[in-house]
Structure 1
Amino acid sequence: MSENEKVINFMRVRHLAGVFSLLLILGSIVSLAVNGLQFGLDFTGGTQIEVGYEKPADLNQVRSQLTSAGYEGAVVVYFGAETDVLIRLQRGFDPGLGEEILAALNRDAAQPVQLRRIEFVGPQVGEELRDDGGLGMLFALLVVMLYVAMRFQYKFSVGAVVALIHDVILVLGLFSVLRLDFDLTVLAAVLAVIGYSLNDTIVVADRIRENFRKLRTETPLEVVNISLTQTLGRTLITGLTTMLVLFALYYFGGETIHGFSIALLFGVLIGTYSSIYVSSYVLLLLDISKEDLMLPVKEGQELDDTP
């Protein structure tokens, strides 16, 4: 950097950020252990019923009607248009369940309700999806660690994986604390968070590696601060534009993707934070140095370079 450019001392609060992240992780793990995740029908199995209205339906009224009829805990969301409503129940297969729901909704209803379809998701299918999703996430983390270790150095791979684990645990913790429905769309969002956070972390790591080789007199702490300052503009622009799109998805995309939007919104925010304060902090804890990133010297090169 030129002398006129101000370097932001990000790592001045690295210990405070580390304690903050540790507390968030511990809180998330405790919530996951006590509350668990509120798995959707994709994982637990159950019945989903689509009904149609002539005019836009009032979801609160639909929930109230179902609760009065004894169907507590039903998930009621719009399915595309506001005249189409999707009802999810964690109940086993019952051939007459659709007619019972239809009768409950038509009772004292201001407009007629039509049954569009009824589907049953078996618990065995849900269990397989849950296991496959977890294995897929672990495989993704393993591949990330190998890729970063091969492209940079093993200390960078440790920092990247710690940051990714940090992001995943916090997203899962958010859904556990708020008791939000965790379905396959949310799992897809968690995997997307891994990709976003990894991309941001690699950009920072690439600049740190470049500056370690270019800057000769700066300490590792100064090199990290310079690298983070140089990539700050790109990080903020990418994060803000992504969050603008996700806000639009949340407000205009319908309730069926609310969980997906919330997971990505929180994940992008946490991923931006972790690429600055988690992965870089881990590098300093591992005593990253210029020697770790020195290019191999070819035989005879030193003789050629001497004046």
Structure 2
Amino acid sequence: MSDLKIINFMGQRKIAAALSVLLLLGSIVSLTMNGLQFGLDFTGGTQIEVGYEQPANLEQVRSQLQAAGFESAVVVHFGAETDVLIRLQRGFEAGLGDEILAALQRDSGHTVDLRRIEFVGPQVGEELRDDGGIGMLFALVVVMVYVAMRFQFKFSVGAVAALIHDVLLVLGVFSVLKLDFDLTVLAAVLAVIGYSLNDTIVVSDRIRENFRKLRTETPLEVINFSLSQTLGRTLITSLTTILVLLALFFFGGEMIHGFATALLIGVLVGTYSSIYVASNVLLTMNISKEDLMLPVKEGAEVDDVP
């Protein structure tokens, strides 16, 4: 081996596996009992635009609506800071606009104008949700086939295990914290799948390469060496991505807050899973040099095989 400092990642694999199992069980229990807090994109609801004479304080608007019984209202600026968009998970009702205006004007001293009120139908229906679930299962099968063809079957099991691990943990956090799950969050979950798969492919490629180069080391030593080699690249990629997501999280506004939250969680668990899930699965399935040796051509000596 080179002078690279080898970190014994796999020495903690049993602790990491126990932690992953606990987190997955917690996510599954929460998703089963609490489900997801679907936003208007999935449920439909009422959208109300109001105008203020001065820049509106969104926190005060939320507090006023909560005090009036509209606890799940989503409040964001709509264009100028004097324009506010309110989204409610309830159907259109006669007098709803007057209730909202009364709640916003109560004890505020501000004049509030009702600009428009409309019912928004769900953009994602039950049929589309079901089709999306089937599509995601099909995508996982395609990923497994692709990784199996490019690397080896045991690598494909590790890659799919890491993807399922990451998606369930992101959904579990949203379920436990009862955060709104809308189309932007769904887009973030899909992005997490791509990020996690890319990270896992990079690590798998290095593991395969080192299994063919390092003939005397054990599988555990080869995997630790490979993870140590890719650690710098993994940390730089993750940290630069996290910096951008933190900027979106704090300064991107309410509309993409869920998107940034989901991606932040996804990047963290995706980095973890490429080390302690995908690689752990390889050791659990007893990956060996024989699994990755190139086939010997007829008439070639064994020592001639790269």
When normalised by structure 1's length, the TM-score is: 0.92
Q: Distance in 2 between matches of 1:142 and 1:82?
A: 47
Aligned alpha-carbon RMSD (Å) = 2.2
Per-residue CA deviation, residues 174-208 of structure 1 (Å, 9 max, x unaligned), is: 01111111111111111100100100000000000
Q: 2:70 is matched by which residue type in structure 1?
A: Y
Shift of 1:9: 0.8
8 Å CA contact 2:43–2:89 kept in 1: the answer is yes
Question: What residue is the counterpart of 1:64 in the other structure?
Answer: 63
What amino acid sits opposite 2:181 in the alignment? Answer: F
Query: 2 CA distance for matches of 1:129 and 1:84?
Result: 33
Quote the residue 1:221 is aligned against: 220
Structure 1 residue 169 corresponds to structure 2 residue 191: no
Q: Does 174-183 or 60-69 show the bigger shift?
A: 60-69
Matches within 5 A, 1:1-307: 1-2=1-2, 4-79=3-78, 81-94=80-93, 96-122=95-121, 125-302=124-301, 305=304
- Name the SS of the counterpart of 1:165 in structure 2: helix
Deviation at 1:31, TM superposition (A): 1.1
Secondary structure class of the residue paired with 1:276? helix
1:86 CA displacement: 2.2
> So what's the TM-score if we normalise by structure 2?
0.92
**Gap change, CA 1:287 and 1:79, over 3 Å in 2:** farther
CA distance in 2, matches of 1:122, 1:69: 24
> For structure 1, which segment, 51-60 or 24-33, has the greater mean C-alpha deviation from structure 2 after superposition?
51-60
SS in structure 2 of the partner of residue 13 of structure 1 = helix
Report the identity percentage: 80
Conserved in 2, the CA contact under 8 Å of 1:47 and 1:119?
yes
CA pair 142-303 structure 1, distance change in 2 beyond 3 A = closer
Change (3 A) 1:129 1:53: farther
Please report how far the alpha carbon of residue 265 of structure 1 lies from its aligned counterpart in structure 2 after TM superposition.
0.4
Aligned amino acid, residue 251 of structure 2: F
Instruction: Tell me the CA shift for residue 141 of structure 1.
Output: 1.9
CA change 1:229–1:94 in 2 (3 A) is same
Q: Deviations over 1:235-292 (max 9, x none)?
A: 0000000000000001110011111111100110000000000000000001111111
Distance in 2, matches of 1:294 and 1:97, equals 70
Residue 236 of structure 1 aligns with an amino acid whose one-letter code is: L
Residue deviations 1:114-148 (CA, integer Å, cap 9, x gap) = 33443423358542443344334323322221211
CA drift at 1:300: 1.8
CA gap of 1:303–1:218, structure 2 versus 1, over 3 A, is closer
Residues 137 and 191 of structure 1 are in contact (CA less than 8 Å); yes or no, is this contact kept in structure 2? no
Unmatched segments (≥5 aa) in structure 2? none
On the 8 A contact 1:78/1:86 being kept in 2, the answer is: yes
